[in-house]
Structure 1
Amino acid sequence: MKTEPTLSAAARVLARKLALPVAGFVLMAIPGAFAEERPVISTTSASADEIRAFCTNIADAARDQRYLIQKQELETLQKDVDERIKVLETRRAEYEDWLKRRNDFLKMAEGGLVEIYRKMKPDAAAAQLAEINPEIASAIVMKLPARQSSSILGEMPADKAALLTRIIAIAGKANTSKDPS
């Protein structure tokens, strides 16, 4: 007569069925459990002809790789040069703009107008220059000799003299970048 397996016998049967898959899973979790043995290649047994043949076979690929790296370096350098050219072009445009404005400013005071103020007394010149366009007045003052200009500015009201001095200072200063990079 057959007896039914007891609970402990059933547990043993189940344990046997699960033992192999669980052991395989545990071995897979351990690093290097299924690592392959790689053969060590000894270079001393290779003949000179074999070495020469290997080097000849990879020479084209190595040359192509070198050319690719050089091409990438040249492209990077070209980008840097292009960026620097843009900066230089911007600065050149700034300088040309400043030069044009300065020349236009100086042309305002050209001709006989400067001679008229040169021959006037400082107090009379100061009164008239205080009433005209500040840019024109500052251009005239700038064209006069320094001693006469200082006398005229000394005779003017302080706010008008300060305005003319500010315009003269701005006209003599370039607004280009000072950063050399």
Structure 2
Amino acid sequence: MRSLVSYAKHAVESRSGLGVLVLAVGIVATSVLPGSAQQAAPARPSAMSSADEIQRFCTNIADPARDQRYLLQKQDLEKLQADVNDRIAVLEKRKSEYQDWLARRNDFLQKAEAGLTDVYKNMKPDAAAPQLEKVNPLLAAAIIMKLPAKQSSLILSEMDPAKAAIVAGIMSNAADPTTSKEPT
């Protein structure tokens, strides 16, 4: 094809009759022969039509593709929701177990505290003081506060003055109405 074009240019430049005749024959021959330049020309429109065809294909599958994507996302979300629901169920079970344990613990502590207070209530102050010096000052203060005032004062007078001061400080802070109920 390229040689035919270059020959046609040469023929036109030389303006020979024979060149123009050969050019005309070449044009007719290329339009008739299979695989000629005329048949190559429709390749461009087919390229355009293939681009149009691709565009139409993409447009036609856009909605089903979007629907499929949404379906997959919905399935993922449902799976995640099921996992969350399972974890919530486990947490609820553990919460109820903890609340049961806490209720039993609090019942035990109330019974123990009442029994412990009764023990110290029946002890002589000079015997109770050394024992209360050795326990946690918060516990000692709680026990002494539940005892009658006369017995509490006798026990505190028998305690080491430094430990008695700590216990008395805790007791006064517990009785202070301006003390916050919430721990900080």
Structure with greater helix percent = 2
TM-score (normalised: structure 2): 0.39
Greater relative contact order (Cα < 8 A, sep 6+):
1
